[in-house]
Amino acid sequence: MSTSVPIKKNEFYEVTFEGLTHEGMGVANVDGFVIFVPGALPDEQGKIKVTKVNKGYGFGKLIELKKLSKFRIEPECTIYNQCGGCQLQHMSYEGQLEFKYKHVVDVIKRIGKINDVTIQTIIGAKNEWRYRNKAQVPVGEIEGGLVAGFYKKGSHDIINMDLCLIQQENNDAVVRIVKKVLSDEGIQPYNELTHKGLIRHIMSRYGVVTKEIMVVLVTTSKDLPSKKKIIAEIVSQIPNVKSIVLSINHKKTNVVLGDETVVLWGERYIHDCIGDIKFAISANSFFQVNPEQTKVLYDKALEYAHLTGSETVIDAYCGIGTISLFLAQRAKKVYGVEIVPQAIDDANRNTELNNITNVEFKVGKAEEIIPNWYSRGIKADVMVVDPPRKGCDSALLETILEMKPNRVVYVSCNPGTLARDLQILEDGGYKTIEIQPVDMFPHTAHVECCSLLVRKD
C-alpha cells in the first residue's frame, strides 16, 4: 500500500459528508481521499471508523453523528438497519427525490457531457409504501426452525421477515402463510453450503388490478412431500390464489428461478393491467414491480414517441411486450425484439389477449435482428430502447445511427449507462431534447429515466 494514502484501517476520523453514491452511501473526504459510508447523508458531520482501504478509495462505518441532515428521519421499518433491501429509508421522501434528481443531472453532465438538455423535475410516486407486486424471499433454517426473509447487508444470512413496508400487503400474507405451511409439514430448507434441502425461495406475485395471486415454490426437486396437503392449506388460507407453481432449481447458483416450471394447482398465469393493456404473467415473466409508476413512465415514452398513426416503431429489448403494446395503440406497426424466447412467447400471448394486430415480435439479439429488418426494407420512424442496467449493446447503437430513425425514446434504469449511450448517439447525429426522471422504487437508490432524442438534421 502506498504511503501517500492518508487514512488507515480501523482508525477514527471526523468527517463532513458531501454527497451520496448512486447506491445511497454517504461520501466523505479525508485529505482528498474518498471514503464511502453507509447510512450517512449529505451535509451531515460525524465520526467514522475506516473498515477497508483500497488504492483510490475506502469504506467506513458511521460511529456518531454530530450534525444531522434536514432530510434525516427515523426509518419506518424495524429491520431496516440489518436488511439490504432498501437503502434510503433514513431519508425523507422529499430528500430521496432531490437526491435522485441531482444524481441524474450530475451523470448526464459529467459522463454524457450534455449540458443543453431539459431535465424535468422527477415524478415521485403517489404511494411510496406498499408498491411492490412481487415478493421473492430466500428460505433458511435457524435453530431447527424454517425462516424466510431478506439477506442481511453484505451477507447470505437470512433475517426472518413477516412484514416488508415496500411490498403489497398481500405478498406479506402469502410469505407468512406459506412459510408456516411448509414448516408445519417439515419441508427442509435448502442449505447453500451443503447443497442439501428442498425449498430455496418463496415467491408471490400479485395482480394489483385483478387481485389475482400466484405462489411460486422454488425447490431443488419436483418431488414435494405432503404435496396435496400443502396445496389444500395454501388454497384455503389465501383467498385470491389462482396459481401454485414449482420452479425447479437444482443448480449451485445465486439465480433464483430454475429452468423447469411445474403447475401444482390452478393456472400457469395470473393477469394484471397497466392502463388499458392486460398482461398474462407467468412465474418467469419480467413484469415491472410498480405498475402504478410504470404507467407514468410508459405514458411519457408514448408522449415522446409522438405517434400519429402512420409510423413504424421498433422496440428493442421488448421483454413481454409491455411498451410495444402501449405504442401499438397509436402506431401503424410495431416490431419488437428480445433475446429471451420465453419473453417473446409471453409477448405474443399478450398481443392476442388484447386483440392487437399491428405488432410483430422476434427472438434474437437486437443488434442482429434489426439490421436484418433494415435489409428487408423495414425502417423505423421511431426507435424505443429499454435495455438492462448495463445499457445498450454498442452494436445496437451503431445500428440506430445507421438506420437513422427520426426519434429515439430511451427508457433507462441506470442513469450512468444512459449518459454514456446518449453521448454516443449525440456524437452520431442526435440531439437529446428532454429527460424525465421517474421514481419507480421509493426508499431504494434506483431511479428510472425516459429520454427523447431527435435527428439534428
Q: How far is CA 103 from CA 64, 137, 166, 449, in A?
A: 26, 30, 22, 11
Say whether 77 is catalytic. no
Select which of 77, 86, 164, 413 is catalytic: 413
The span from the CA of 35 to the CA of 53, in Å, is 9
Report angle CA 345, 269, 390 to the nearest 5 degrees: 55
The span from the CA of 259 to the CA of 253, in Å, is 12
The span from the CA of 158 to the CA of 316, in Å, is 37
DSSP 405-436: -SEEEEEES-HHHHHHHHHHHHHTTEEEEEEE
Q: Which residue has the cell 421517474?
A: 438
Q: Which residue has the cell 431478506?
A: 150
CB 438 within 8 A of CB 297: yes
Give the residue ranges of DSSP H helices in 264-377. Answer: 291-305, 322-328, 341-353, 366-375
Q: How far is CA 240 from CA 181, 229, 267, 290, in A?
A: 17, 18, 12, 20
The span from the CA of 306 to the CA of 92, in Å, is 36
* Other CB atoms within 10 A of residue 4 CB: 8
The tally of CA atoms less than 13 A away on the side-chain side of residue 20 is: 30
Which residues are marked as active site? 413
